[in-house]
Each structure stands twice: as structure tokens, then as C-alpha cells.
């Protein structure tokens, strides 16, 4: 989506967050400003314009980046990423809880990603387990050093709590060796739910 349209009342004020190079690959990039206004900044009940805009967005190779851009910049008006402002409203309401691991991975690769609180916490926990310094985290996430230290401190507590949970033994002891053998033969192994996150951590190691 272009930054400026012919309609000044509908053109949002955008903040310069993250990578904008995707905009040049959008199907709407070279459309005249008047056409953009009619298609993507239409009246709420203009069903024909909505249908035509969704057709264009459906074929666009960067519609996910367009959608994320609208969320990151709090753009409430118009069609972005193939969704109308009404369709995006629930996403805006919970944007700070979004957890997209492709964005977490991109942050480790050095891209300027506007992370949600949940995504930033995921980056911090993984950075802590990889032995990053607060200075490196502050540089990667473009944070104040004191803030990065606080995040690292919280990550240390989270990891310690997780490891303590994994190390817990079964509190129920068998009465004798025979009972223990029977339980080993018939009882399923209880796997902590957190173990399932290992595959996600492994996917991030290459980027760290």
C-alpha cells in the first residue's frame, strides 16, 4: 500500500517502523492514487469496491507484510492485507499478544521487526539460553540497555522455572520393587507440555 493517497482525510499518519521494501512488490504499488482511494479506502458499504480490492489483495505476493504493517502502525482505515478495517479490528485489539515465530526468527536474523510483547519475550528467552549479553540484546531489539537488562533478568527467572518444572520427580513412590515393575510396564510416560517447545527452539538456533 502506498503512503499517500489523494484523499487527505483518509490518509493515515504512518510511523517509520521496520522494513518498507516489500511495498514495491505490492500489486497496488503503481496504481494511480485516485484508484487506490476508490479500491482500498472505500465507503464501508461499498461492496463492489471491497470485492475488487479483495481480488487484488488475494493475488498480491506481499499481503501478509501489508497486513502486519497495518497492525504495527495502528492503521485502522482502509483495506490492508486483504482485510477491511472491520475485519482487522479484533487483530488490533490483541496485537500486543501476537506470537508469530516467523517474526521472532526474522528478528534473530537482524531484520527490524516491530515485535509484540509476547514476541519480544520469546526473543529474549532464546537469547538468554544462547548466552547473549544484555548489550547484544539491546542492539538487536533497539532497546535501552537498562530495559534489555530487565528483560534478561526476567528471562533468567522464566528459564529457571521451566528447568525446575522439568526436573520434578514423581511424588508417588511405589510400595515395593514388584509394584514399581508393574507400573513401569503399564503406565505411560508423562511428558511435560513444555518439551514440545524444543522443536521451536531448534528452528531458531540457526538464526541466533
Domain assignment of residue 178, yes or no: no
Burial class (CB in 10 A: 0-12, 13-18, 19+), 81: buried
Domain shared by 110 and 156, yes or no: yes
pLDDT of 39 reads: 86
pLDDT of 188 reads 39
126 in the same domain as 38: no
Phi, psi for 115 (deg, rounded to 5): -80, 145
Domain boundary among 37, 71, 93: 93
Which residues are bridge partners to 80 per DSSP?
Answer: 83
Query: How far is residue 92's CA from residue 113's CA, in Å, rounded to a whole number?
Result: 17
Is the residue at 107 inside a domain?
yes
Q: How many CB atoms lie within 10 A of CB 136?
A: 14
Length of the chain: 208
Q: Is residue 160 located within the same domain as residue 112?
A: yes
> Using CA atoms, how far apart are residues 70 and 79, in angstroms rounded to an integer?
9
Single residue among 93, 118, 146 that ends a domain in this structure: 93
Cβ atoms of 131 and 155 closer than 8 Å: no
Q: How many domains does the chain have?
A: 2
Distance between CA 78 and CA 83 in Å, rounded?
Answer: 8
Task: Say yes or no: 40 and 77 in one domain.
Answer: yes
The domain boundary, picked from 93, 110, 139, lies at 93
Per-residue pLDDT of the chain (208 residues; tens, 9 = 90+): 433 334 433 333 333 345 677 888 999 988 888 888 888 987 778 888 899 999 999 999 999 889 988 888 888 888 999 999 889 988 888 877 888 888 888 888 777 777 888 888 889 998 998 999 999 999 888 889 999 999 999 999 888 887 777 665 544 444 444 444 444 444 333 434 444 456 656 666 666 5
Residue 177 within a domain: no
The three-state secondary structure class of 67 is: helix
Same structural domain for residues 154 and 129? yes
Same domain? 50 vs 78: yes
At 192 the pLDDT is: 42
The β-bridge partners of 208 are: none
Q: Are residues 89 and 113 in the same domain?
A: no
Please choose, from the candidates 28, 105, 33, the residue with its C-alpha nearest in 3D space to the C-alpha of residue 62.
28
pLDDT for the residue numbered 202: 64
What range defines the domain where residue 72 resides? Answer: 21-93
Amino acid at each position: 500500500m502506498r503512503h499517500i493517497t489523494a484523499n487527505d482525510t483518509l490518509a493515515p499518519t504512518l510511523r517509520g517502523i521496520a522494513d518498507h521494501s516489500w511495498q514495491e512488490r505490492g500489486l497496488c504499488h503503481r496504481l494511480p492514487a485516485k484508484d487506490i482511494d476508490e479500491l482500498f479506502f472505500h465507503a464501508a458499504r461499498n461492496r463492489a469496491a471491497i470485492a475488487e480490492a479483495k481480488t487484488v489483495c488475494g493475488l498480491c505476493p506481499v499481503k501478509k507484510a501489508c497486513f502486519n504493517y497495518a497492525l504495527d502502525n495502528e492503521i485502522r482505515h482502509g483495506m490492508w492485507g486483504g482485510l477491511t478495517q472491520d475485519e482487522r479490528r479484533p487483530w488490533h485489539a490483541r496485537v500486543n499478544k501476537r506470537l508469530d515465530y516467523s517474526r521472532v526468527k526474522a528478528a534473530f536474523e537482524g531484520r527490524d521487526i516491530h515485535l509484540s510483547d509476547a514476541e519480544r519475550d520469546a526473543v529474549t528467552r532464546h537469547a538468554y539460553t544462547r548466552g547473549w549479553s544484555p548489550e547484544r540484546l539491546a542492539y538487536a531489539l533497539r532497546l535501552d540497555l537498562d530495559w534489555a537488562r530487565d528483560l534478561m533478568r526476567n528471562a533468567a527467572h522464566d528459564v529457571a522455572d521451566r528447568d525446575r518444572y522439568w526436573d520434578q520427580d514423581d511424588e508417588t513412590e511405589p510400595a515395593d520393587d514388584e509394584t514399581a515393575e508393574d507400573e513401569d510396564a503399564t503406565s505411560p510416560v508423562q511428558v511435560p507440555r513444555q518439551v514440545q517447545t524444543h522443536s521451536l527452539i531448534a528452528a531458531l538456533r540457526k538464526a541466533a
